[in-house]
Structure 1
Amino acid sequence: MGYAMVMGEALIDLLEADVDGGQVYRQAIGGAPLNVAVGVARLGGDARWTGTLSKDVLGERMAAFLRDAGVDDQGVRRVQVPTTLAITTFEGAEPTFTFYGEPPSYALLTPADLDLGAIAGAAVLYTGSICLLREPFVSAARAAWAVDGPLRVFDPNVRPTLLPDGAAVDALRTLSESFFATADLVKLSSADAVVLYGSEDPAVAAARILDLGARAVVVTLGARGAHVAVPSGSTTVPAPVVNAIDATGAGDSVMAALISRLLTGGRPADLPAWADDVRFALSVAGLVCERQGGATAMPTPAELATRWPAR
């Protein structure tokens, strides 16, 4: 089994909560790519995270968290700017994010910071999310994506609060499609699909992404499960029934679980094999939704076996 190279942001989520009738914010380590790396490691995979962390106290905490989670941090570069904060509010279990910090501490990785040999040696390369909205990170991601060797996995992880107008949406769609075209797997949420392609039907986005050249697309549908599409066909995989209290990190856990399956079994050969991997990923996400979210909610195989003994 090889390793996964995960590129992207790490930041601090401040999660809205009520305590004794007053509103407070609970600090949690997050950022979709960091969540993915931790999720892969918790599931027993070899995860290596590449990105930038602040030299401040919050950056130190994130660096220690990565090490404690078993994520290799040789690709981390430390930067002298304050850690970006994501204020997280909820409607039910679903989070909404507002970001604070300029320049963003998470998007300062440059192409010169990359270990191209380590990227070429990876079994899986993941990138995506909000770091791709900023330079120099997007140039670093393009340089890594151009390296031959690993399976390429992409998640746009659209955050509407960072897209002020239609031009910004168009730019993100164009950027994302440049990665979709050569991806072995694209994972996106139904909300992402609506922003990028304007349709509530996940099959519309999946078909567009496959036409661009992607080899498989998974569109997560929240409690309804996920739409899975490959050139030979598509299907919907239902989600397990859970008592969701916090969906923060759920989509990232789907991504982590799919990467862990790519590490152990390689790229699935057909639609039923992809559906089986997605079924596993949805069981991981279901458990994450039953916990207070972010990277700390990512489960181990033992925890999955306890929660889903029949799976």
Structure 2
Amino acid sequence: MARPESTGGVTVLGECVADGFTDPALAGPGELALRVLPGGGPANTAVARLGTPTRFLARLSYDVFGTLFRSRLTDSGVDLTGSVTAREPSTLAVAALDETGQATHTFYADSAHDWQWTDDELAATSYDGTVCLHTGSLALIRQPGGSRIEDHLDKAREHVTVSIDPNVRPLLIPPAAYRERLSDWCALADILRLSEDDLAVLLPGTSPEQACDTWHAAGARLVVITLGERGALASLDGLRVTVPAPAVDVLDTVDVLDTVDVLDTVGAGDSFTAGLLQRLASLGHLSGRLDTLSLKDLTDACSFAARVAALTCSLPGANSPWANDITLEAGVERPVPRV
């Protein structure tokens, strides 16, 4: 089957979160100092800066965090057409980093604007010029908006490819709630992207390969499980490929970034998703049910996504690379240092 031309962009539906990182160096006696960066899984995916037109559908407050979110999104070239001005406050997540850069979050999310989607707000959304709708994370699980987003996906998939990242947060949402909804999400999703940590919560004791088969049976055609430093496993209707993670250790001195210094892993999975969708869009595989996708192109897309995620780890917070941070060498896009 001939591969179609890709002319559309990616729309992301979900939350923005203010990520507060503890900073002991700035704290005086009896104080806790926070450095606040804009985050949230869907927002991180939208701020991909990889060249594909991206629109973000969110409910954004006009509190101090909402102003921060708008600045980050617009400065990154994200289209906010269709986003809603909300009266409710923004969500705050306070993250503590361990010695490896892994984050543990505490969320302050009750009654925040992200979960208050109405049917009328969602019905006003148009997908002209969009080939993929990506969603997930807390916006898809927290009520009352989560069930309304599910209904919206059921209608939107008539026109676009649907991508879902559960982005499990067991400290905020009971794991049983995710397990109860996951089969329904698979029935809606063409692409299910999740992490090895998500897998451990959703199907404890299950291998990535077995999990892929379970989620294929529930309806997801493409399942991609990121495995941290071991790379990623992708399964297309049961046909599987693995890609390695780029070495993330020492900055090379040549003009190509073979390895990068890790500052933290915040947003790496979201950047992987963005890279995956951008590459699949540029290869012409989005807008329908992935009928033209081959294992060769899937491997290409996952390898690109892994390098985008690696570069994100070299920057503080969920700070993804720009398109001009990716250079072409020997036919493969690779991250290069910023100048």
Amino acid at match of 1:152: V
Shift in CA distance, 150/116, structure 1 to aligned 2, threshold 3 Å: farther
**Where does residue 225 of structure 1 map in the other structure?**
231
% identical equivalent positions = 35
Superposed displacement of residue 54, structure 1: 1.3
Q: What secondary structure sits across from 1:266 in the alignment?
A: coil
Alignment partners' CA distance in 2, 1:110 and 1:255: 26
Q: Are 2:8 and 2:130, in contact at CA under 8 Å, matched by a contact in 1?
A: yes
The number of aligned residues is: 301
Show the counterpart of 2:254: none
User: Post-superposition shift, 1:201?
Assistant: 2.4
Q: Do structure 1's residue 34 and structure 2's residue 6 form an aligned pair?
A: no
- Shift in Å, 1:119: 2.9
**Corresponding position: 1:75 with 2:75:** no
Q: TM-score, normalised by structure 2?
A: 0.84
Q: What amino acid is the match of 2:85?
A: R
TM-score between the two structures when normalised by the length of structure 1: 0.91
What's the counterpart of residue 157 of structure 1? 167
Per the alignment, residue 192 of structure 1 pairs with 198
RMSD between superposed Cα atoms in Å: 1.9
The partner residue of 2:244 within 238, 262, 273 is 238
One-letter code of the match for 2:265? A
Structure 2 distance, partners of 1:117, 1:55, is: 21
Structure 1 residues not aligned, in runs of 5+: none
Distance in 1 (CA, whole Å) between partners of 2:335 and 2:128 is 37
Aligned to 1:210: 216
Aligned to 2:180: 174
Pair 1:66-2:73 in alignment: yes
Which aligned runs of 4 or more in structure 1 are off by greater than 4 angstroms?
20-23
Q: Is the 1:51–1:107 contact (alpha carbons within 8 Å) kept by the matching residues of 2?
A: no
* 1:12 and 1:58 in contact (8 A); partners too: yes
Structure 1, 149-158 or 136-145: larger mean CA deviation: 136-145
Distance in structure 2 (CA, Å) of the matches to 1:184 and 1:66: 26
**In structure 2, C-alpha distance between the alignment counterparts of 1:102 and 1:203, rounded to whole Å:** 36
**CA deviation digits over 1:246-275, x for unaligned, max 9?**
000000001111111232123362222211
- Gap regions ≥5 residues in structure 2: 1-6, 249-260, 286-291, 328-333
Structure 1 position 212, deviation (Å): 1.0
Residue equivalent to 1:257: 275
| CA distance in 1: counterparts of 2:314 and 2:129, whole angstroms | 36
Contact 2:154/2:188 (8 A) holds in 1: no
Select 1:43's aligned residue among 27, 47, 50.
50
